[in-house]
Amino acid sequence: MKKHLILAVLALGLSHALLADAAPVWKLDASASTLTASALKNESVTVAVKFPALTGTLDPATGKASVTADLKSLETGNPARNTNIETLFFEVAKKAAYGSATFSWKGNVSALTAGTPLDVTLTGELKLHGTKTKIGGPATVSLLADGSYKASFSGWKLDIDALKLSAPLAAMNKICPQPHRVANEVGLKGDLVFKKQ
């Protein structure tokens, strides 16, 4: 009986080790990464919303990657605007799920060589405000000298209607003095660095 118990414990330990090895070991380096959304206000003023609190993983073996932004960490350089976007637009207090946005995708990074960036098209799914929508566009992926992976993109467009955020946008616009209105289209750009743990 004791022998079977010892074997069972060893088997569990081995299974745990194998599962740990199978998990993605490249994690997003938030200090080296940026994610910014931009929208036009009053048809001429660009408002940039930065998301400094980022987490994510990359599994180079499968090419699966995921990045989550904490929407409660957003920064525009204006405290009142930060509050309006967080509470009126993203409505983070309504549901726990509204407090973050996650972009996940799958792409082949096995062909990368250090110092030779590769232009690709990233296509994936954005989970935001209780909805899922397709997102993606041109990107450059790189294998850095230290073994980290970097994905860079800009000019991606998000439509507020497609994200089902028209009502929150209208609520936020309502409190802005005329003619200050935020546009329905949002641009997205980012530099995401994943480091081996």
How does pLDDT run across 31-60, given as a tens digit for each residue? 999 999 998 877 678 899 999 999 999 999
The structure's pTM equals: 0.83
- Residues 145-157: pLDDT tens digits? 999 999 999 999 9
Average pLDDT, the chain: 85
User: Nearest-5° angle of CA 124, CA 137, CA 34?
Assistant: 85
pLDDT at 175: 80
pLDDT at 181: 74
Q: What average pLDDT score do residues 84-113 get?
A: 92
State how far the Cα of 161 lies from the Cα of 177, in Å rounded to an integer.
22
Residue 179: asked if its preceding bond is cis (omega within 30°), the reply is yes
- Residues 105-144: pLDDT tens digits? 988 888 899 989 999 999 999 999 999 999 999 999 999 9
pLDDT at 178: 58
Domains of the chain, first to last: 25-196 (2.40.128.110)
20 has pLDDT over 50: no
pLDDT at 111: 82
Q: What average pLDDT score do residues 12-37 get?
A: 71
b/e map 146-179, b = 16+ CB within 10 Å: eebbbbbbeebebebeebebeebbeebbeeeeee
